[in-house]
Chain A
Amino acid sequence: MSNKFGGWAGRILRINVTDRSIQNIPTEPYSERFIGGLGIAAKIAWDEINPHIGAFDPENKLIFATGPLTGTLAIGSGRMEIVGKSPRTFPKEVVTRSGMGGYWGTEIKYAGYDAVILEGEAKEPLYIWIERDKVNFFDAHDIWGQDTFSTQKRLKEKHGPNTQVICIGPAGENKCRIATIMSETSFTSGKSGFGAVMGAKKVKAIAVLGKGGSISVAHSKRLINLFSYYRDLMGYNPMREWTVGYLPADYHFRFFKKYRTGNASCFGCPVQCFAFIKVPGLDPSQVHCVNYYYMRPAYNYYGETLEGDQAFWEGVVLCNKLGLCSFEMTGMVPWLKDLFVAGLIDDKSSGLPLSQYGSREFIVDLLNSIAFRKKIGDVLAEGAARAAKILPGAWPFYEKYYPAHGQAEHNSVRDFPGIALLWAFDSRDPMIDHHAYRHLSVSRQRWPNPHRVDIDKAQAISEKIFGSRLAIDHTTYAEKPRAVVYCQNRSAMMNSLVLCDWLYPMFISQSREDRMGDTAAESKFLSAVTGIEVSEEELDQIGERIWNLLRSVMVREGRTRKEDTVHDSYFRKNRIGRGEEDEVQFHTVITSDQTNPIPHQIFEEAKETYYRIRGWDEKTGFPRREKLITLGLNEIAEQLNPVD
């Protein structure tokens, strides 16, 4: 399927850092059933990652996978997926995924590879240099210990300014479970802690130059026309103006006015969702939503002053430079304050200036202590979930900010039934690749005019896509399982192409009066690029296949129906230590009442409906044998040996 058609580079690069060997394998056996990206990475994970190994074992692998649309003119195609055993997922280390935008995925396609499989464990720190067919291993002692910015600058100096680098910072080297893989200033694979896996393998960076390489396209004119058509249909996305920040909103805009120099974006994207910010005295960086985690505490501490701006900005840049996950900080920072207020930790025992919460000293000390594992940072580097089990009395406060999987709350699972179900069935924070459902059901109904999608229009879209207006109604669990199945299948497919979930599925058009989007966009782009005519329905089925494969991977690692849930306290009315205004969680600030309990009985019934629609066993949550065979996953059905 690969070389004969456009889109795919046709081969996968296997790099073993133990004996510094490389191997090229064809993409075709994988791409026939799983397209690319998440799909082929999940298949490789199924074939090659033993369910019983740990994330830091040399046997663990990291699969960096692009898809047939990566780096083409398809809108939002600047992404890639990384799959491997994650050190961050809680309570167990499981195989999961983590996306990454930017330019590295495109460059590896130019270099002639659809995916890179990183395996083994080096004795000494090294970095990998890929220039088309040449793959070299270089000693990395001189960059080991350096932050991500200077590492990349060094490698770009050495190998040319167009070199694209993914690298880890000190946090990854010290195997912090919340360490990220970084590219440029703020393109991040964060949610699964893969930076720590690279650190365990002693791989500091992978630098790529695809000079002279190309990606073939079957129907170039058609692709250009599709690009124009879907960009116009999508319409103007005001994200580029807002690049969402924390309240108070007017402060956020004044901050932009003072320090913003322009926008930045992933490869070939019309949305341009990053703002580029230069604050005096600190490194510039691009910034987007989650990076703003320290804006409000700093604002409360300093008021609207240069010191306040610098304190907040230090939190942004230091996270990026050390290779720490900003999203974890959205939960961890207020959680630490709660622990301090409750008297469970203090300045002396923690070694952090907790009494000066909101100050620049606090955030600098916190991030450095985590990245270099000093004092309490050694515990926090395990991630808030594991730290909450270690620190006495910390767990109840932890649940306030973390609904499940050891990942900080991303949209209120209490208030939005569909989002609660997405959280329950996933192995990590699902909202990172299900933004489209949130846009339709929550966010865009709250946008100011002329951008707003009115509720009646949103319901009409819901009716067309999910077959019911109730699918986006937050007062009931009815119709949610069906919507969740649809969104998961689409997300798995989209992550295999690889496109950005911010834009796909294209539920909403900002340019049309009725706001009706076009969910066939992915299939049309894929047909134009590869030359294989694929319909929307066929792609949906491939998505279902990939999601079932992912579920099979989870089941093999011990996932059952019992784990398809969120933490207990979300089923109870009151949160412990109801927060001050500045502790209101990321993205959940939009509802006034934070204490809606999830109705347990109804939640469990919705789960059963979900398993029925999926064709999975209702008692165990395992994919049924016949379902896997229907989807063409025969070997998975054989090996998984599920209940019949």
Chain B
Amino acid sequence: MGLGFSEMNTRIRRSLVANPLACSGCRTCETACALIKTGHIFPEMARLHIDRDPFEGGFVPNVCHQCSIPYCLNGCPVGAIGICEKNGVVNIDQKKCIGCGSCRKACPYEMIIFDEEQKKSFKCDLCGGNPLCVKVCPMHALGISYFGKKELQ
């Protein structure tokens, strides 16, 4: 599955970007994400998280950066994590995932979600390239950025 190391940044890649100055901390993105990923309002399982400091007005969306050299990918002992050739998103292959939590430990941004019931790890897959969170954000605090090789866009 996916791209090899040498190809990682020579192909089109994309990731979520967040603007904490625009974010108002309303958690619509979390709710929508959890809803589309789990079918329920289950904010723990959302693939992005909002840190709220209501007393200082600091609202910070934490999103998966789809790192150019992904820590989670390198941390996975069974090679379940790869970069999708089509949309350049870092994906976890649920069939291969053994639920060991290594990726979660490896990710410095704490963006790997562990489902205790299924004993599997999940992460932001950008909804296949057209993320719902970006569509629902009332403050336009979320967006998509592209990186990697330009002409392949």
Contact = CB atoms under 8 A, between A and B. Distances in A.
A596 interface: no
A486 to B, nearest CB: 29
Interface stretch (B36-44, B64-72, B85-93): B36-44
A272 B25 CA distance: 10
A186 to B, nearest CB: 9
A286 interface: yes
Given A217-B41, A228-B135, A272-B138, A267 B35 contact: no
B9 interface: no
A216 B26 contact: no
Given A73-B41, A264-B57, A224 B26 contact: no
B35 A265 contact: no
Contacts of B56: 284
B44 A185 contact: no
B127 to A, nearest CB: 11
B121 interface: no
A335 interface: no
Given A224-B32, A270-B138, A276-B57, A262 B41 contact: no
B92 to A, nearest CB: 21
A211 B32 contact: no
Given A72-B31, A216-B40, A217-B41, A284 B26 contact: no
Given A212-B44, A278-B57, A268 B27 contact: yes
B41 A214 contact: yes
Contacts of A284: 55-57
Given A185-B54, A263-B139, A276-B57, A220 B35 contact: yes
B138 A217 contact: no
Given A214-B42, A223-B35, A73 B28 contact: yes
A403 interface: no
Interface in B3-39: 21-28, 31-32, 34-36, 38-39
Interface string B51-87: 1111111010000000000000000000000000000
A149 B132 CA distance: 34
Nearest to A77: B31
Contacts of A263: 24, 139
Interface in A235-288: 261-272, 274, 276, 278, 283-284, 286
B136 interface: yes
Nearest to B116: A212
A268 B28 contact: yes
B55 A149 contact: yes
B26 A268 contact: yes
A215 B41 contact: yes
A227 interface: yes
Interface in B107-153: 132, 135-136, 138-139
A517 interface: no
B136 to A, nearest CB: 7
A106 B82 CA distance: 36
Contacts of A267: 26-27, 31
B38 to A, nearest CB: 8
Contacts of A184: 54-55
Interface residues of B, number: 34
B24 A262 contact: yes
A271 B26 CA distance: 10
B57 A217 contact: no
Nearest to B53: A161
A110 interface: yes
A309 to B, nearest CB: 17
Interface string A197-218: 0000000000000011011110
Contacts of A438: none
A627 interface: no
Given A185-B54, A263-B139, A217 B40 contact: yes
B111 to A, nearest CB: 17
Contacts of B44: 211-212, 214
B33 to A, nearest CB: 10
A71 interface: yes
Interface string A85-104: 00000000000000000010
A289 B95 CA distance: 53
Contacts of A71: 31, 41
Nearest to B38: A214
Contacts of B43: 110, 214
Contacts of B22: 262
A283 B55 CA distance: 8
A153 interface: yes
Contacts of B24: 262-265, 272, 274, 276
B139 A224 contact: no
Given A149-B55, A185-B55, A269-B138, A224 B40 contact: no
B39 A220 contact: yes
Contacts of B55: 149, 152-153, 184-185, 283-284
Interface in A153-203: 153, 161-162, 184-185
A214 B132 contact: no
A217 B35 contact: yes
Contacts of A266: 26
B125 to A, nearest CB: 17
A266 B26 CA distance: 6
A278 B23 CA distance: 16
Contacts of A228: 135-136
A267 B29 CA distance: 11
Nearest to B30: A268
Q: In this complex, which of A262, A266, A283 has the most chain B Cβ atoms within 10 angstroms of its Cβ?
A: A262
A185 B59 CA distance: 14
Given A227-B32, A264-B25, A220 B40 contact: yes
A158 to B, nearest CB: 15
- List the 7 shortest-distance A-B pairs measured between CB atoms, nearest first: A214-B42, A270-B138, A215-B41, A276-B57, A184-B54, A263-B24, A265-B26
Given A73-B35, A110-B43, A216-B41, 7 more contacts: A149-B55, A152-B55, A185-B54, A215-B40, A224-B32, A263-B139, A267-B27
25 contacts: A71-B41, A73-B28, A103-B27, A211-B44, A212-B44, A214-B40, A220-B35, A220-B39, A220-B40, A224-B32, A224-B132, A228-B136, A264-B24, A264-B59, A265-B26, A268-B26, A268-B28, A270-B28, A272-B26, A274-B24, A278-B57, A284-B56, A284-B57, A286-B54, A286-B57
Interface of B: 21-28, 31-32, 34-36, 38-45, 51-57, 59, 132, 135-136, 138-139
